[in-house]
Structure 1
Amino acid sequence: MKKIVLLICFTCFSIGAFAQHGSREKIKAFKIAYITEKLDLTSKEAQQFWPIYNAHEETVGKLRRQERKLIRRIKEANDTPAGLSDTEAEDAINSFLEVEEQKSQSRKKLIVDLKKVMPSKKILKLIKAEADFHKRMLARIKERRKRH
């Protein structure tokens, strides 16, 4: 019970700090704490889990940056009088599809690698924890926007 109250206090404080500072490192630290708590990893599982998970997150982060770069490039091209040519539009679509495929492959690799070090039930808990964390962050952003 004491741990739950402490976690709730930490969560409330942390979310408030994130809204003020928007620090990716703080959000990452909160995500790590959230996932650790939700998965209830043994020390052995944690030692094996985090390197695999962090490698996946790094890969997905790079892919998201590629995606944002592509979106900026398309936006800039559309802001010019000529816009995108059909060939450029086709290339952009293919680039998006390639990034999506790479993200999907990374997710599959994560699950295959995690099956080697932890039970499938905990992998399902991870999937739920990630979705819940994402919902919490979006709700917090939405709440913050309403206040401003």
Structure 2
Amino acid sequence: MKTKNIFTIILLLLSISFYAQKESSDPKREKIKAYKISFLTSELNLTSAEAEKFWPMYTTYDDKQFDLRHKKMKTYLRKLKDENVNALSEKEALSLLNQIENTDDELYALKKKYNSELKRILPAKKIILLKKSEDDFNRKLLQQYRDKK
């Protein structure tokens, strides 16, 4: 049992270092990512075979989702802040709405593809546990953020 956990932790650390080298992103984001991986590792109790297939796929999905949500959506939100919404013409508002809908469609397609791939790696019960654990992590992170203020 301990060997399995040690192997999972080593795999986890290797994947973190690989992705940290791959992208030189925000140190806060990297810290949150490492914390999230640690949290999910303890919650999911993956076998070493599951972990070996799961973590590379999960980090790829998480990065793509982050790019869609933060890069594209931030662009839209900046537009809404920079330009008064009331000052937008109907044509500009429709264009912005279409861009937002397209991003939502991309996120949905990404999630559907991820879930399909996930079903080949993990049993349904662990996939549900993953969803719950991600929600728990997000609540915990938000609570820590609120406590700091």
Aligned residue pairs: how many?
123
The equivalent residue for 1:71 is 77
Aligned partner of residue 23 in structure 1, secondary structure: helix
Moved over 3 A (4+): none
Aligned counterpart in structure 2 of residue 46 of structure 1, from 46, 51, 67: 51
Q: CA deviation at 1:97?
A: 1.1
Q: CA deviation at 1:55?
A: 1.4
Superposition CA RMSD, Å = 1.8
Q: CA deviation at 1:74?
A: 2.2
Q: Gapped runs of 5+ residues in structure 1? A: 1-21
Verify: 1:37 aligned to 2:37, yes or no. no
Report percent identity of matched pairs: 35
Q: CA deviation at 1:138?
A: 0.9
Verify: 1:60 aligned to 2:82, yes or no. no
The equivalent residue for 1:133 is 137
Q: How does 1:81-100 map to 2 (within 5 A)?
A: 83-100=87-104
Q: d(CA) in 2 for partners of 1:138 and 1:91? A: 33
Verify: 1:103 aligned to 2:107, yes or no. yes
Q: Deviations over 1:73-132 (max 9, x none)?
A: 2211218xx821111111111111111111111111111101101111110010000000
Q: d(CA) in 2 for partners of 1:100 and 1:73? A: 17
Q: Deviations over 1:3-55 (max 9, x none)?
A: xxxxxxxxxxxxxxxxxxx8111110000001111110111101100111111
